[in-house]
């Protein structure tokens, strides 16, 4: 296992992070299975676990809490808040009212008195940076969180938040958690240069592109993954962007075969090779999934392999631009760009 410094915090974290989104009803993973995955991950050297309040409506946090009981101090524990938790309109977002309340809920579910990294799950355009950063700074001073970060923020919002922290003498986000894979490289052109400029740690999610790079999806095979079952449109190869992804996967498989690598090793080795990336978040549903990911823990791709990847998917290009998660709201809602 490789270890890197998380931004400028001085905290050493593994290059692979155990993501717990699939614990519980999302991935149909039981408590015994989740505990076995956590045990195996820690045994392999993973020391950072990432979850969120909305994963399974809190079920993931509860399962992580039970799995790490008795060994909390050996783990860098991260969770997130901000996505809707039910129908009540104020049970979401980045307001002080919600973050203070929901952190206590997360701590209760996790069975701990603090988390090491508390992340705002999405930028909240309805809440000022000062409001959110002030609440997070107070929670940090109260000892309930050690550091805080952002997740899937557009590049300009990362910059604005850094400026707001400076202008209002508040603590700042020290990490960003964006989506990044061989098939979705857009953050190379805007987010990653900003995180490097401000010294943020970067924990990338979906490095296997929702399973496209797992090795299970190939030309001529029926696409039957956990994700395709509840997001079929993202795997419909009659859609041009999905056809482009499948074509790229076939060419990438040739690169992996020639290099003696699995597709997972190629995919994880690619994202962890970028100098701005600290770690890649993996989200195994089973022990077998975890083992296939751990095989990439020490993968270092040579320059010729990285060049071959660049020739298939150009730097800074998203093959499925409609699936970007940091698109400004005004591009999604016409009412926000009309007078």
Contact 125, 93 (CB under 8 A): no
- Alpha-carbon gap, residue 265 to 258, rounded angstroms: 13
Instruction: For 116, list phi and psi in degrees, rounded to 5.
Output: -80, -35
Residue 198 a catalytic site member: no
The CA distance from 179 to 128, in Å, is 24
Catalytic residue among 3, 55, 173, 198: 55
Say how far apart CA 22 and CA 285 lie, in whole Å: 6
Extract the tokens encoding 289: 């999934």
Q: Give the CB-side neighbour count of residue 206, counting CA atoms within 13 A.
A: 19
* C-alpha count within 13 angstroms, C-beta hemisphere, residue 211: 18
* CA gap 175, 76 in Å, rounded: 14
- Rounded to whole angstroms, the Cα distance separating 175 from 117 reads 9
The 3-class SS string of 39-98 reads HHHHHCCCCEEECCCCHHHHHHHHHHHHHHCCCHHHCEEEEEECCCCCCCCCCCCCCHHH
Rounded Cα distance, 77 and 110, in Å: 10
Q: What tokens does 236 get?
A: 């419909």
**Could you tell me the CA-to-CA distances from 333 to 56, 108, 293, 339 in Å, in that order?**
28, 37, 38, 13
The residues annotated as belonging to the active site are 55
């Amino acid at each position: 296992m490789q270890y890197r410094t998380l931004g400028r915090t001085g905290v050493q974290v593994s290059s692979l992070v155990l993501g717990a989104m699939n614990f519980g009803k999302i991935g149909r993973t039981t408590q015994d299975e989740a505990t076995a995955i956590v045990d195996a991950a820690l045994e392999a050297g993973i020391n950072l676990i990432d979850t969120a309040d909305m994963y399974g409506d809190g079920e993931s946090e509860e399962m992580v809490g039970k799995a790490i009981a008795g060994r909390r101090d050996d783990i860098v524990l991260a969770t997130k808040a901000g996505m809707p938790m039910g129908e009540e309109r104020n049970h979401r977002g980045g307001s002080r009212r919600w973050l203070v309340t929901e952190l206590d809920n997360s701590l209760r579910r996790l069975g701990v008195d603090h988390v090491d990294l508390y992340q705002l799950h999405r930028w909240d355009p309805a809440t000022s940076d000062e409001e959110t950063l002030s609440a997070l700074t107070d929670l940090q001073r109260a000892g309930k969180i050690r550091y805080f970060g952002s997740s899937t923020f557009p590049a300009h919002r990362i910059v604005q938040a850094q400026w707001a922290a400076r202008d209002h003498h508040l603590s700042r986000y020290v990490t960003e958690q964006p989506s990044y894979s061989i098939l979705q490289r857009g953050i190379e052109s805007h987010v990653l240069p900003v995180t490097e400029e401000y010294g943020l740690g970067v924990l990338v999610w979906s490095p296997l592109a929702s399973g496209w790079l797992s090795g299970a999806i190939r030309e001529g095979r029926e696409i039957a993954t956990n994700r395709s079952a509840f997001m079929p449109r993202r795997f419909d190869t009659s859609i041009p962007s999905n056809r482009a992804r499948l074509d790229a996967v076939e060419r990438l498989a040739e690169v992996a075969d020639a290099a003696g690598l699995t597709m997972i090793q190629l995919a994880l080795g690619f994202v962890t090779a970028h100098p701005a990336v600290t770690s890649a978040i993996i989200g195994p549903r089973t022990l077998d999934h975890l083992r296939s990911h751990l095989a990439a823990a020490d993968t270092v791709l040579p320059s010729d392999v990285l060049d071959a990847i660049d020739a298939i998917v150009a730097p800074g290009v998203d093959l499925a631009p409609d699936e970007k998660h940091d698109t400004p709201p005004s591009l999604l809602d016409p009412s926000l760009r009309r007078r």
